[in-house]
Chains A and B, each alone.
Chain A
């Protein structure tokens, strides 16, 4: 199956290893992957901060890159960016009919990574092996705003050697919220440290998720706890693609 890949800018900037893992998984499942070069960021941080006008340039770029007849199916590695593209672009382009039309066309072509594997490829066992205890953060955008609840759990369930431990309030926000975490660091800190506590309480060695920004946030907080001596063990923060790419 021929697909276009949307990695999200954080993968490009900070975590190429997550993108590489996802490409490996998708190629093993028989996907032929394309990725346009003229992309940077979906602009979510701008529109969520109220800068709708300023979001347009980034959004137009994404639409231009992905809304082409050669891309029938687009797979997004990050739920929140995908949510911005399919659910927020209509707001961004409400006064630009041409781009509004094109953005609405993208809506039907975009699939979140785990949802694509389970519901489009019909695969729940990707042949991965990961011998450790894992908990999963049910991020707001993937779980609530895109409504993707079962696919990531089904995929984890079928990973050989993986012991899944659910954290309390797994679908509670991690406190990232884009510019929220810069504008309101004290509040964001309270939220993420509570999330960390629920992760620590599971006893799992690995926390994984399907939304890169949340992982950056959780990793930053767990790292701070560790360096301050408030956490006595390493808890690895991984994208679900990295677990699905593992081979024991």
Chain B
């Protein structure tokens, strides 16, 4: 399964690894700040931001509700433009389609631009296994491919490497002999990649939005590599998730006003391509053959569940950039190519609950993600919805059930509660050794250790508020009665 990775380790172990890596931890924290400060500034100065969001919600919901119609319309129009359409219900189906295309052309060399859909199906690994050379041309993706590392962010995937580390990766794996000055590394990359663009037989790319009314696919990048992937090689393969479709160019405009602002805090990106089919007669550039892989891979199913709001997601990463948990455990803590808040909804939505460990509990439900989501996905509510489903489907840990059953009783029965307070108070007092809080030395006690291993826990007070309140009211009543009597004297 290409969505999950590093599953040999538990969430706890992955988190511990991430926290040990000070560089990664700090890099993500800094990047978060840069992105959301940038986003905040742009949003504040933009008139009608909320109207735009509302409009985007309407547009995206409309497509989800009429998914079959728009999939068909997009496919028909793309076909009219001369594209060859492939419908892939699953990731495996998509891989077979791609392998067929390579076989048909006898191709063995491809360049690729960043695409989450290809990550989702594990395209690179499969192509490499069959002897096809595939080069990532997005700078960050190239670093990851060279380092054999996984993305730590959906928009800026190589955040966890600094310039020194990047230079070292190229020195070790590619014989780079330059310095760690970013310009020098990018110049080196540009030189080797130029050659690959010219040589590659196939270009493989993703698609940010697919326009149904024109059959066009779009690509939003900052480096320009995507434009070369989609114009140099003779054969082009475009991966389009069926949840990328927008009805028309006007809707695309709305989405494009939201995407770069939400993603990286910029009004626009350096490059934006709108491609409608192969090169026409007399056109000097562009591919001769364009294949569009329209991929479902669980999206249709998702559209008919409580999680259908998630199909509005445009992968901007704004929720990652504001998440108080993501900033510490980084993308690698989650063990999914879709990390952070959106990942906690999407990952189990696509792969189910059996292999995700405790992922959906790595969230405090603070709601910052939902507040920042440009397309108004109630992300934290949906994360909780997964937790509810996990319990309903009995996929929760058996060991926690009696604890929650006990809480159910304790929190709904006044005599039981009062008895618990009576028994609990002296016990806690004893454990606190005269202090007002339980300290680290109580971290041997089950459940309690969850808290006191990292923080102190205040003990129960010696009186209940309800007791004070009752006495207070009685006192007031007595005073009132006394006052009335006094008045009569």
Contacts and interface: CB of A to CB of B under 8 A. Distances in A.
B109 to A, nearest CB: 43
B34 interface: no
A49 B461 contact: no
Contact of A187 (B362, B463, B469): B362
A159 interface: no
Contacts of A145: 367
Most buried by B among A40, A52, A145, A219: A40
B172 interface: no
Contacts of A61: 412
A46 B453 CA distance: 22
B324 A224 contact: no
Contacts of A118: none
B387 interface: yes
A186 to B, nearest CB: 6
A135 B329 CA distance: 27
Interface stretch (B12-20, B142-150, B265-273, B286-294): B12-20
A50 B382 CA distance: 11
B391 interface: yes
Interface residues of A, number: 68
B440 interface: yes
B407 to A, nearest CB: 6
B421 interface: yes
Contacts of A13: 421, 460-461, 464
Interface string A161-180: 00000000001110111111
Interface stretch (A16-24, A107-115, A150-158, A238-246): A16-24
Contacts of B16: 186
Contacts of B15: 184, 186-187
Given A50-B384, A182-B451, A185-B451, A219 B367 contact: no
Interface of A: 5, 7, 9, 11-17, 19-20, 23, 35, 37-41, 43, 45-55, 57-58, 60-61, 140, 144-145, 171-173, 175-192, 194, 216-217, 219-221, 223-224, 227
Given A23-B472, A184-B361, A191-B325, 13 more contacts: A13-B464, A16-B463, A37-B470, A46-B407, A48-B365, A50-B391, A52-B388, A60-B412, A172-B368, A177-B364, A189-B455, A190-B329, A221-B456
State the 3 A-B residue pairs at the shortest beta-carbon distance, nearest first. Answer: A177-B364, A50-B387, A189-B454
9 contacts: A15-B458, A57-B413, A61-B412, A144-B366, A182-B447, A189-B455, A190-B19, A220-B455, A224-B439
